[in-house]
Structure 1
């Protein structure tokens, strides 16, 4: 069995390692050989993932059985198109469109009466301004199919549209139009799941927090089985019903919601696992299942059947925490406490995207945050202990000593 994975970044490494552990021959396609990634594969194709004709030709020549990806929005429709051409098991291109095009998501909710909200597809700035006048004082402006929050803006005035419309438009990849939506107040959640032959199973739920300087960029995703302030059983039911209604045949899912006046409203959904290792580390930990094992087996064998049940009767607690600064930025003078991040068993992954001497600043999108850590603890009390230790031990000192974290 020959399996190709694309792209080839650190976020695909867990899937790649799982494929190799199952004894399959691994191919990797990516524009560059990322150190620590390409070495895992048996074969490497140097190519942009959007050069689909080149990849299809290579797959046919090498007799590759199926192409897979994970934690990557922009690969969803690419994978569907390539697998269709090589006759491999995959979601359809139409299904890929539904799970990547934010306008189609809004249309789906409206058609199926799943807590729809006002929205409009705009080809020009005047249409966006018209929608704002009808739905002020606040709306959201989004590209149709961007990733990592690129081009997403909260609009509080007509001037915001004038200043940001063209930037939002640039991040719409496949259709140069912009989606505007009525702004829904409330707390935001992420829900990771798995579509099986027996229906969709919700695996892990997080309550999101956002950076103060940009409330469209998350700085923490806090995972628990229940939440005293919000009905997670209702959220599981809402999420499972939504994904089941789409007809998605199989695969991992990642969906974002906002809770407002007793209802969970869809923000967006994806036919892939949550990024930044949520699906690789946190979702299987919280649900106590091997989601990658199921995904790979179902991909290579459409008749594969395995009963999946999420284990939620426990006190497991997890977090994906992104680092931030108490100031606009500065030059890093000292990093303290990294040994604690490296040596604590419950800290499953961490990364500092900077070194001493680097200039760091508050992130402008999801893809340029300065670092993160992931905690997976069996109990809330142990989780709280680790959080306190990180707060006490892990410090980023800037050259200006008043700006120390």
Structure 2
């Protein structure tokens, strides 16, 4: 590969694997992010302290640096900005209309309905009266969601009339559009499906079953990746669904709920799952580095399809007590374990632990993998025994 400049939108730690890949190929990598202390600001060859939603500024940067491509991973907002910048500059990328389908929940529902797939009963709401009318017609519980937010922000389960929300409480999390979507609550037996599209063909590479925080049914506490014959029908149906969208290439992350009628799609995304799912979990369970494959397609490099592995993995979020931390033990021992792909704790000694409110402020997490379910459970039990957080009285 010739030395060329490429821009990644977003420099969070979970987005740095792509930077490492590109630098190993000899690319000059620029990262843009509003957080000037993000991990990508150090790793990149050059950093611009610019908002990931600032299309005009990123277009100017791309012109100035003569960038050959602009992309993002693990971020809906970054994907949308990259699509807009690439369209303006005539660069290869995910088409804007495809990104809009994958980021707008109302368009997703319409797409499912028009193509004969199961979907929750839903309605677009533009006023408090619209929400009340949906409740009167469909009953409780139901879910209210912003149209294009990420990380469960603004998502809430409404269980009775006393909990009826104001539109603005969820709408404030939208990006550039009005309204919210309300839909039937289908339960919390939730699954994620990870995959990638290569030359228009979708490959499912992993499926996890989610568990949630006890009092936060919309916030994941654990994603457990395993393999089962009961997933075969879901895999076939999901591959077909993604191919119907027209996504030409790219990583996918989707969420389903299992109901009496079958698996019902909650949402899909034309990006990798956050919290290092795309960069760490998917390669561990499948043997496919999906970010490398995505970048090869973006840059018109050859992609070699190899045999898929079927390993096991867990993305486990930590739950601490809401107290002041006095001492932490065991982190070095956990990091030394071969089965641990990543571990991070968002609090240190002397910090007051705050309550978990959504996906963005969970207390920390680790990622582990193994060749079998039995081995993975042993690893999880070992982590639980080793990690000790001692609180001040």
Distance 1:212 1:186, change over 3 A: closer
Distance (whole Å) between structure 2 residues aligned to residue 306 and residue 75 of structure 1: 24
Question: In 1, Cα distance between the equivalents of 2:14 and 2:55?
Answer: 21
Work out whether residues 238 and 264 of structure 1, in 8 Å CA contact, stay in contact via their aligned partners in 2. Answer: no
What's 1:128 paired with? 131
The corresponding residue for 2:371 is 378
In the superposition, relative to structure 1, how do residues 51 and 198 fare at CA in structure 2: closer, same or farther (>3 Å)?
closer
In the alignment, the residues of structure 1 paired with residue 341 and residue 350 of structure 2 have an alpha-carbon distance, to the nearest angstrom, of: 27
Residue among 7, 11, 26 paired with 1:4: 7
How far does residue 398 in structure 1 lie from its aligned partner after superposition?
A: 2.1
Q: Are 1:69 and 2:72 matched, yes or no?
A: yes
Compared CA separation, residues 105 and 35, structure 1 to 2 (3 A): closer
Matches of 2:174 and 2:38, distance apart in 1: 30
- Which one of the candidate residues 338, 354, 357 is aligned to 1:345? 338
Q: Is the 8 A contact 2:197 2:252 kept in 1?
A: yes
SS at match of 1:27: strand
1:106 matched to which residue of 2?
109
Is it true that 1:308 corresponds to 2:305 in the alignment? Answer: yes
> Is 1:322 aligned with 2:325?
no
Supply the distance in 2 between the matched residues of 1:219 and 1:64 (Cα, whole angstroms): 39
Following the alignment from structure 2 to structure 1, what is the Cα–Cα distance between the partners of residues 307 and 365?
26
Q: Is the 8 A contact 2:101 2:107 kept in 1?
A: yes
Aligned to 2:18: 15
For structure 1, which runs of at least 5 residues remain unmatched after alignment? 401-405
Partner of 1:79: 82
Equivalent in the alignment of 1:172:
174
Give the conservation status (yes or no) of the 8 Å contact 1:14–1:280. yes
Do the aligned partners of 1:324 and 1:362 also contact (CA within 8 Å) in 2?
A: no
TM-score normalized by structure 2?
0.96
Where in structure 2 are the equivalents of 1:4-403 lying within 5 Å?
Answer: 4-34=7-37, 36-162=39-165, 164-197=166-199, 199-226=201-228, 231-301=230-300, 304=301, 306=303, 308=305, 311-312=308-309, 314=310, 316-325=311-320, 327=321, 329-400=322-393
What value does the CA root-mean-square deviation take over the aligned residues? 1.5
SS at match of 2:35: coil
Query: The residue matched to 2:103 in structure 1 has which SS?
Result: coil
Tell me if the contact between 2:224 and 2:315 (Cα under 8 Å) persists in the aligned partners.
Answer: yes
Cα deviation, residue 35, structure 1: 5.2
Number of residue pairs matched by the alignment? 390
What SS class does the counterpart of residue 381 from structure 2 fall into? helix
